[in-house]
Amino acid sequence: MTDLATKRIVLTGGAGFLGRAVARVLEARGVPAERLFVPRKRDFDLTDEVAVKRLYESAKPDIVIHLAAEVGGIGANMAQPGRFFYANMAMGMHLVEQARRWGVEKFVHTGTVCAYPKHCPVPFREDAIWDGYPEETNAPYGVAKKAIFVMLDGYLRQYGLQSAVVVPVNLYGPGDNFDPRSSHVVPALIRKCEEARAQNAAEVVCWGTGAATREFLFVDDAAEGVVRAAEVLEEPAPVNLGGGTEISIRELARKIAKACDFGGRIVWDESRPDGQPRRALDITQARRLLGWQPVQNFDGGLAATVRWWREHGRDASDPGSPPIRG
């Protein structure tokens, strides 16, 4: 097992939603602040090869944990498919190649549930990830992220670069991105319901039919899974990180409306896409290889997320599309 407390670590996306949680877990593992390097976009544009070279020269990492992504919900994916493919492909490609050149001990890559085929049998198992094309609205993002799986496999076989790949399901929790232009479904619905309640609105409008299902993982649980992968994995076989409960978007909207004390109608705009019909992950491999499973139940995590938005959200919400975050 890798003792992370003795290593110099680059944490891309470390200032983002998942990244901040991973930094907290690393601190709890004894990683001193001076050994943890969080590159910021204003200093290191990770889509630029020269900037990535400069990052490795500055940080001199032993371990790279790559969380940074240009990412968003269905609307953001539909609006910027080219950018999402290019940015995520470029970041992964430059970071892995420079890790090989620098002699990094281990590269940890965070994939996405969007990489799975559109009609994948549920629960998704890792060996099905190449069995079909992803759901169209997020395919450019999903394909770019899983192309790095192949790169890491090739680099292990040719260059001996050790690596790990985790595939988290949809994340949520305090500190999430609540920008309506780029947020995922949980923060988007919380903001809609909270603003509707404050304005005494009669209804909120949600995309699609509500029939699609999703699974959600609390951000602190995801962070623990990422760090466990950094500690114990050495090969880039994908490992799912899931929350354990599949829920329809219609039921999710009801839960969020209740958590936000919004008593109005929920109206479904069926002209908008549902996205992938179902999502839920098999986490057998995570239990076996990482000794990991989620701790936070969804209702408790949802309540904590609503509280955070009420206390901090308006001040912390920083519009900008698309965000680069973990």
224-234 residue pLDDT tens? 999 999 999 99
User: Is 283 inside any structural domain?
Assistant: yes
List, in sequence order, every beta strand (DSSP E) within 43-156. 63-66, 69-70, 106-110
User: Is 265 inside any structural domain?
Assistant: no
User: Is 229 inside any structural domain?
Assistant: yes
User: Is 187 inside any structural domain?
Assistant: no
- Residue 149: how many other CB atoms lie within 10 Å: 21
User: Is 202 inside any structural domain?
Assistant: no
Entry field: residues in the chain: 326
Kindly give, in sequence order, each residue whose CB lies less than 8 Å from that of residue 107, ignoring residues fewer than 6 positions away: 63, 64, 66, 95, 96, 99, 152, 161, 162, 163, 164
Residue at token pair 């408790």: 300
The per-residue pLDDT of the chain, averaged, comes to 93
| Confidence at residue 159, expressed as pLDDT on a 0 to 100 scale | 98
Q: Please state, in angstroms and rounded to a whole number, the distance separating the CA atoms of residues 225 and 211.
A: 29
Q: Which residues are catalytic?
A: 141
Q: Please state, in angstroms and rounded to a whole number, the distance separating the CA atoms of residues 215 and 249.
A: 10
User: Is 87 inside any structural domain?
Assistant: yes
**Any bridge partners for residue 213, and if so which?**
248
| Confidence at residue 315, expressed as pLDDT on a 0 to 100 scale | 63
* 7-42 pLDDT tens trace: 999 999 999 999 999 999 999 999 999 999 999 999
User: Is 162 inside any structural domain?
Assistant: yes
> Domain of 109: which CATH number?
3.40.50.720
* 145-174 pLDDT tens trace: 999 999 999 999 999 999 999 999 999 999
User: Is 203 inside any structural domain?
Assistant: no
List, in sequence order, every beta strand (DSSP E) within the chain. 9-12, 36-37, 63-66, 69-70, 106-110, 162-168, 170-172, 203-207, 213-218, 238-241, 246-248, 265-269, 324-325
Q: Into how many domains does the chain fold?
A: 1
| Confidence at residue 321, expressed as pLDDT on a 0 to 100 scale | 35
Name the pLDDT band for 325 (thresholds 50, 70, 90).
Answer: very low
| Cα 85 off chain centre by | 15
For residue 324, pLDDT over 90 is answered with no
Question: In which domain, by residue range, is 118 found?
Answer: 4-175+215-245+278-296+321-325
- Residue 100: how many other CB atoms lie within 10 Å: 17
* 96-124 pLDDT tens trace: 999 999 999 999 999 999 999 999 999 99
